[in-house]
Structure 1
Amino acid sequence: MKIVGVTGNLTRPSKTRSLCEYLVDQLSEGSSGHCFDLIDALPGLGGTVWRSEAPGEVEAVLAAIEQADILVVGSPVYKASYTGMLKHLFDLVDAKALASKPVVAFATGKAPAHGEHVEAHMRSLFGFFEARMPARFIYARDHDFEAGLPGSSLKAVVHQVVQQVRTDLVA
């Protein structure tokens, strides 16, 4: 099973990347897993209008997304949504590539109220792709991390989501 994580980050290290790595690690359980940040698709991503013209670094991320058995997608919150470049990346993904695939979406942010907004945006995006998202959305704030890594309460939430994804895979 191939687990791929993608974050809307333009910098590393980050809490978003840390949570993505933890989710991919928990989901992979002996399978292969890899995380990408938007920075891995730069500078070519911003100038890519058509998939057929995508430079190698962009195509590599797109191919990994489309070939994943389980996709983990996270973003820091920007103005109550995910990053615009993350949306642009998914605008280049084949519309049928994620149909029926599990997608664990999450966001990291500071304001409690942003969680429900970014969740709605992500559910809409992955609903378009007809992907399967767990009922539980992960919204992590600064206090959910310890020294930049997921803290115990966040790990408990991740465990619940991972169990739901595994249960859904068997069903």
Structure 2
Amino acid sequence: MTRVAVVTAGLGQPSSSRLLADRLSDATDRALRLQGERAEVTVVELRDFAHEITDHLLTGFAPPRLAEAIEAVTSADAVIAVSPVFSASYSGLFKSFFDVLDDGVLDAKPVLLGATGGTARHSLALEFALRPLFAYLRASVTPTAVFAASEDFGTAGAGTSLSTRADRAGRELADLVLQRPRTAPTDPFDNPTPFEQLLGS
């Protein structure tokens, strides 16, 4: 079983970011099933956690509901992260969520990036804003990132290109997940140094 956490920062209900996130998670699920693997998908709608994220930034403590969302991302085998493009970059809510994650949470974790905007002119935000952010977080990002403009959802047949890109990105994420060695999390208290040894040194 592969655990996939889907993080989407759309503000509306439904939002184009959530629509894109659903397409990407469906494509990933299909790609995993074709390789004999089942996916368990958890969706984190950041809109529902806006106040808790702000509280966490101010206090350093995550309220219980937000802590569950953070744990879903921390324990996931892969992450799909989708943000609307505001002022030529990811949204503040999107960035704030990744700011409250502990250091190292995304180390080498397979991540698929997506973004939405009114026109295709905003698509470069994936490369000059989102990809550098996740490189800094040391994630393993798929070569294909997917941008969806309003017209990709609008008319019959307009989503063909989007579906093609989503399928390619989903296959890339599935490949990264299945190539990554699975290691159980280590507990630093599993093998403590004996007290006598500490006294002896």
Please, what TM-score do these two structures have when normalized by structure 1? 0.89
Tell me the secondary structure at the aligned position of residue 43 of structure 1.
Answer: helix
Is 1:153 aligned with 2:154?
no
Pick closer, same or farther for the CA change 1:26–1:163 going to 2, 3 Å: same
Q: Distance in 2 between matches of 1:32 and 1:169?
A: 13
**CA shift digits 1:86-139 (9 cap, x unpaired):** 111101111211111111011000233321134321111111111111111111
Deviation per CA, 1:52-74: give whole Å up to 9, x if none: 51111221111111111110000
For residue 43 of structure 1, the aligned residue among 20, 38, 51 is 51
Query: 1:77 deviation in Å?
Result: 0.8
Q: Secondary structure at the match of 2:124?
A: helix
CA separation of 1:51 and 1:138: change in aligned 2, threshold 3 A = farther
Give the 3 Å change call, closer, same or farther, for CA 26–118 of structure 1 in structure 2.
closer
Determine the C-alpha separation between the residues in 2 that align with 1:27 and 1:83. Answer: 24
Residue 92 and residue 51 in structure 1: after superposition, are their counterparts in 2 closer, same or farther (change >3 A)? farther
Instruction: Provide structure 2 residue ranges, at least 5 long, that are not aligned to the other structure.
Output: 180-201
Figure out how many residues of one structure are paired with residues of the other and give that number: 169
- In the alignment, the residues of structure 1 paired with residue 110 and residue 59 of structure 2 have an alpha-carbon distance, to the nearest angstrom, of 23
Counterpart selection for 1:95 from 91, 103, 108: 103
Rg: which structure is higher?
Answer: 2
**How far off is 1:26 after superposition?**
2.3
Question: For 2:128 and 2:103, how far apart are their aligned partners in 1?
Answer: 19
Identity of aligned residues (%): 27
**Within 1, Cα distance between the matches of 2:137 and 2:81?**
13
- Partner of 1:120: helix, strand, or coil? helix
Q: CA deviation at 1:50?
A: 5.9
Structure 1 counterpart of 2:9: 8
TM-score by length of 2: 0.77
Matched, 1:77 2:81: no
Tell me the SS of whatever aligns to 1:48.
helix
The aligned residue for residue 190 of structure 2 is none
Q: 1:50 to 1:102 in 2, by over 3 A?
A: farther
Alignment of 1:1-171 (within 5 A): 1-28=2-29, 29=33, 30-49=38-57, 52-146=60-154, 151-171=159-179
Moved over 6 A (4+): none
Superimposed CA distance per residue, residues 3-49 of structure 1 (whole angstroms, 9 cap, x where no aligned partner): 11011123310111011112112223432102111122132212222
Change (3 A) 1:57 1:169: closer
Query: Taking structure 1 as reference, are residues 160 and 51 closer, same or farther at Cα in structure 2, changes over 3 Å only?
Result: farther
Q: CA RMSD in A?
A: 1.9
